[in-house]
Every structure is written in structure tokens, then in C-alpha cells.
Amino acid sequence: MNYQTVTEALNALRLLEEKQSALSHAMNMIVYDAATAAPKNTALGRGKTLGILSEYMYELIAAPENMEWIAYLHEHEDELTAEEKRRIEMTEKSCQQISRIPQNEYTEYQMLLNDAQTVWEKAKNENDFPAFAPYLEKIVAFNRKFAGYYNPAMAPYDALLNEFEEGMTMDVLDPFFEKLRSAIVPLLEKIRLAEPIDDSFLHRSFPVEKQKQCAEYLMAVLQIDRGYCGLAESEHPFTDNFNNKDVRITTHFYENNLTSALYSVIHEGGHAIYELACDDRYNQTAIAGGVSMGIHESQSRFFENIIGRSEPFIHAVYPEIRACFPEQLSDVSEEAFYRAVNRAEPSLIRTEADELTYCLHVMIRYELEKKLIAGTLAVGDLPSEWNRLYREYLGVEVPDDTHGCLQDTHWSGGSFGYFPSYALGSAYGAQMLAFMKKDIPDFEEKLRVADLADIKGWLGEHIHRHASLYQPSVLFENACGSFDPSYYVDYLTGKFKKLYHI
Ligand code: ZN
């Protein structure tokens, strides 16, 4: 069909966006169900359905006529709004996504990842890195090649970073991590010599039913409308967003760990708050939902750590938490609870790390994957380099690869360039805090009574409502100027020096 008018071409865009969003809604719902409610032997039929829906998705976005109206719209860019241009840009990206890797290489890679997943799980369980190494070598080689397809003008690792955080480069990350390292590593050494914080009471027996009550209470404190946001249980906590009126978060309750579920509810709650506050107008368009992994993590970590583990917030919520567990917490003061949930201790496992040491775990992965992709680190040398960096930055000895370089699923899943967003998110959040405080003079007082309305209002205005309208760096700069890691470093050093009296 020939497009005669901009309106016709925009209608074609709208139709594609709606179909694409409906298909991903259906697919995500099936995946969400699999992780939360589906009985354990139901994978077979689900796999078949997902396969067929993926084919529909492929046909939809690979259709040659898409390129016709996209080309027509490019010719008439002066008649388009900034919002329309961004929708076209994002749609074009997803249309090109599938054609940029040759079909045979794509299929071969998917098969490799499929095998690698099984091999990695076994290797992790059996502490057998050599069994996984040949797969990792191939995955690295594929990613170096794909980086060239994504953006031949960029350094391969930059091209991969860009897949997760549009516009992010090593030029931004190198000085960021360098600044973190030079501040946090010496601070951690001082903490190690300081009086340790007792958090043993967090591992008493906390009945799951009561924890559920507590989780509901925290959802209410976060002012998350349960009419639009579900809370379910899964092996690993996650957030799924179907549109800005239907978000699902999950958690996992452990009887002997009070804070794991509660803080994961606040973390996923932060993701949900972002999605729920995206402007209605972007629903079912290519710019619906949060813009990037880094900005998303900035919201979840902001609520989990900056708010959730702050002194005034603990002051506000601890009475209710203690009321849920009168026996278990009768001898635990508000201050003891605050100190316990902030205990910093160098450890081996990233996902269990505290707020302070977390960024060092991420930094180690950044340094290693950067070298793997650049070809300056051989896969065979990965375990010894991993262990060396854990010794140097965290001061811990890695006993085996199970607790070392085999612990994360990212590399076996082909995700290179993903890790930095975790640390970036925390740093973005700290800078947002500084700017928000300028606009909310009674920030502390509000927090002391768990009144989050102004805080959510600030984030809603500057971040949430824009969904994916702007590139992450533009969105961030509009909200709080150019990215400056000093805010994060100052936040962490200020908080932990006070906490450990050093
Ligand atoms: Zn998250």
C-alpha cells in the first residue's frame, strides 16, 4: 500500500503498536503465570503456545510494509511531534532488531544459550568451571560479533551496554566505578575494624502469615493501589508490567529471614510505583513503561535503600512491624533494627549483598566482562581474576567457583553489559534524593510519619510520567542535571560512617 498522508502512516504505526502490545501482554501473562501460579508439570503446553505467539510477533514486526510507512514518516518529519518521532524511533528499532543478526547465527546462538543454561546450572552445582568454560567462550565470541551488528562504529562493549542503557558508554562508567572504588574500598576496611552490628534477631522464626500482613502494610505505606497492583509469591522476586493500570510484583517469604521479603516488597514496589505513574497517553505505544534498566533500578533501589533503610522511615514503620511480631522483636529497639537492616559486611554473593558492598560486586563484574569482550581476558583465566578482585576490593577469599564466577545467571544467558545498570541505578537514585530535598524542605519530617506523597509526587513529575519518551540520560539530566557520581559516594560514606561511628 502507498501511504498518501501522514495520518494514514501514523494509523499504521498505531495499529502495529497496539497489536505488539497485545501480543506481549499475552506472552508476559503466560510467563508470569508460570513463575507464580502454574503447577510444576505444565511447561510443555506453555512452551508450544509461547512458540506460536512468538512467531506471530515475528511476522508482525518483520512485515515489509512496516518499512514503507516508516520511510514515509521519515520523509515528513517536520509534520510530526517529538512524541510521534520517538514512537517511530522505538518502533523502527524493534523492527530492525530481528533483521540485524543473520537468521542462521541467531538460531545457532539461541541453541547455544539453551544448552549453556543447563551446563551452567550443573557446573554451578558441581563447582566445575571447566565444564562451562567452552560454552562461555562461544557466548563471548557471539556477543563480540553481535556488537558489530548492533553498532559497528562503537567499541564492542559500548555497543552491548547500549542494548540495556541507551547512550551509556565506558567513558561514563570507568570514572564512575573508579570513584566508587577509591571511596568504598578504604571505607570498608575501616568498617571491618569497627564494632560489628548484631543482626542475629532478624533470623529468628517469623511466621510467613504474619510476614504477609507486614508486606500488605508496606504496600499501603508505599501508597500502591492494590486495585492496580498484584502481589504474588515466586522463587525470585520480580515485577511484570502489562500497562500502567496492571502491574504485578512478587516476593519470596523465608521463615528465618524477616527482611528478605519485606525489602523485596519495597524494591519491587519501587518498580511498580514507576510503572503505575506512567502517563495514560503512552499505554499501548512503543514508549509505554519505564525507559531503561538503569532508571528502573534507580526507582526500586531508591525506595528499598534510600527510603526503606533510612532512619526516619524505620522510625515510622517499625512500631507496626514490631506489632506483627511482638514475641520475636520484643527486645529489639528501633535503633537496633535500623542498624541491623543496614549492616555492611563483605560477602561472596552479589544478590545477598548489603547496600554498601553491592556496588563493589557489580564493579568486579563490569571490569571482567569488559575485558572478556575486549579479548584481553581469556575465559580460562576468569576464575583466578574473579578471586583476585574479590580479595582486593572486598577482602574475601572465594572458596570455590560455585560461590565465585559461577554464581550469576547473566553470562550463561548471554547478557553482557547488563550488570552496570544495577550500580548506576543506585547512583541515579542518590542524585535524585539530593535534588528532591531541595524541592521538599520538610523531607525528613514527612518521612518520619511515612508520608510519601511529596516524594512520589516529585518522582512522578520528573521521572515516572514521561515513560520512555526521552532517552534515559536526557530524562535524568532534565530531572537533576548531568550525572555526577559524587552524590552517591557522599550518600554512602555519610550514611555508613555515621552508622559505624567512624
Ligand atoms: Zn529491581
Question: How does pLDDT run across 295-343, given as a tens digit for each residue?
Answer: 999 999 999 999 999 999 999 999 999 999 999 999 999 999 999 999 9
Pair (138, 255) in one structural domain: no
Pair (206, 128) in one structural domain: no
The per-residue pLDDT for range 265-286, each reduced to its tens digit, is 999 999 999 999 999 999 999 9
| 370 vs 105 pLDDT, higher one | 370
The per-residue pLDDT for range 395-420, each reduced to its tens digit, is 999 999 999 999 999 999 999 999 99
Distance CA 431, CA 68 (A): 43
Domain interval for residue 254 = 170-500
How far does residue 293's CA lie from ligand 1's centre (Å)?
8
The per-residue pLDDT for range 187-236, each reduced to its tens digit, is 999 999 999 999 999 999 999 999 999 999 999 999 999 999 999 999 88
Pair (202, 114) in one structural domain: no
How far does residue 453's CA lie from ligand 1's centre (Å)?
22
Pair (384, 459) in one structural domain: yes
Pair (446, 297) in one structural domain: yes
CB burial of 140-170 (b: ≥16 within 10 Å; e: otherwise) equals bebbbebbeebeeebbbbbbbbbbbbbebeb
What residues does the ion ligand 1 have nearby, CB within 5 Å? Answer: 300
Q: Give a yes or no: residue 30 inside a domain.
A: yes
Whether residue 1 is predicted with pLDDT greater than 70 in this model: the reply is no
The one catalytic residue among 17, 165, 268, 367:
268
User: Chain-centre distance of CA 89, in angstroms?
Assistant: 23
How far does residue 233's CA lie from ligand 1's centre (Å)?
16
Q: Which amino acid is at 440?
A: I
* pLDDT score at 198: 96
User: What percent of the chain shows pLDDT beyond 70?
Assistant: 100
Whether residue 475 is predicted with pLDDT greater than 80 in this model: the reply is yes
Pair (377, 339) in one structural domain: yes
Pair (108, 233) in one structural domain: no
* pLDDT score at 148: 94
| pTM: predicted TM-score of the whole model, two decimal places | 0.94
Alpha helices in 283-409 (DSSP H): 293-301, 311-324, 334-341, 358-374, 382-389
pLDDT category at 14 given cuts 50, 70, 90 is: very high
Pair (453, 304) in one structural domain: yes
How far does residue 264's CA lie from ligand 1's centre (Å)?
9
Residue 449 is placed in which grid cell? 510519619
User: Chain-centre distance of CA 95, in angstroms?
Assistant: 24
Q: Give a yes or no: residue 160 inside a domain.
A: no
Phi and psi angles of residue 193, each rounded to the nearest 5 degrees, phi first: -90, -15
Of 104, 125, 153, which residue sits at a domain end? 153
* pLDDT score at 263: 97
From residue 173, give the alpha-carbon distance in Å to each of 25, 373, 444: 34, 15, 32
Is there a catalytic annotation at residue 68? no
389 within 8 A of 364, measured Cβ to Cβ: yes
How far does residue 267's CA lie from ligand 1's centre (Å)?
6
**Residue-wise DSSP of 181-243:** HHHHHHHHHHHHHSPPPP-GGGGS---HHHHHHHHHHHHHHTT--TTTEEEEE-SS--EEEEE
Give the total number of structural domains in the chain. Answer: 2
User: Chain-centre distance of CA 43, in angstroms?
Assistant: 26
Residue 203 neighbours by CB under 8 Å, 6+ apart: 256, 257, 258
Q: Give a yes or no: residue 164 inside a domain.
A: no
Pair (144, 233) in one structural domain: no
Pair (143, 178) in one structural domain: no
Of 153, 179, 210, which residue sits at a domain end? 153
Distance CA 329, CA 322 (A): 6
User: What percent of the chain shows pLDDT beyond 90?
Assistant: 91
**Virtual CA dihedral for 94, 277, 224, 298, nearest 10 degrees?**
70
Pair (252, 179) in one structural domain: yes
The per-residue pLDDT for range 251-267, each reduced to its tens digit, is 999 999 999 999 999 99
Burial class (CB in 10 A: 0-12, 13-18, 19+), 135: buried
pLDDT category at 95 given cuts 50, 70, 90 is: confident
123 within 8 A of 136, measured Cβ to Cβ: no
How far does residue 347's CA lie from ligand 1's centre (Å)?
20
How far does residue 271's CA lie from ligand 1's centre (Å)?
7
Per-residue pLDDT, averaged over 55-82, amounts to 94
* pLDDT score at 99: 78
Residue appearing with cell numbers 528465618: 256
Beta bridge partners of 246: 243
Distance CA 48, CA 20 (A): 19
Whether residue 392 is predicted with pLDDT greater than 70 in this model: the reply is yes
The CATH number of the domain where 406 resides is what? 1.10.1370.30
How far does residue 399's CA lie from ligand 1's centre (Å)?
28
pLDDT category at 4 given cuts 50, 70, 90 is: confident
Distance CA 471, CA 344 (A): 34
Pair (336, 414) in one structural domain: yes
Of 97, 123, 153, which residue sits at a domain end? 153
Other CB atoms within a 10 A radius of the CB of residue 182 amount to 11
Q: Give a yes or no: residue 90 inside a domain.
A: yes
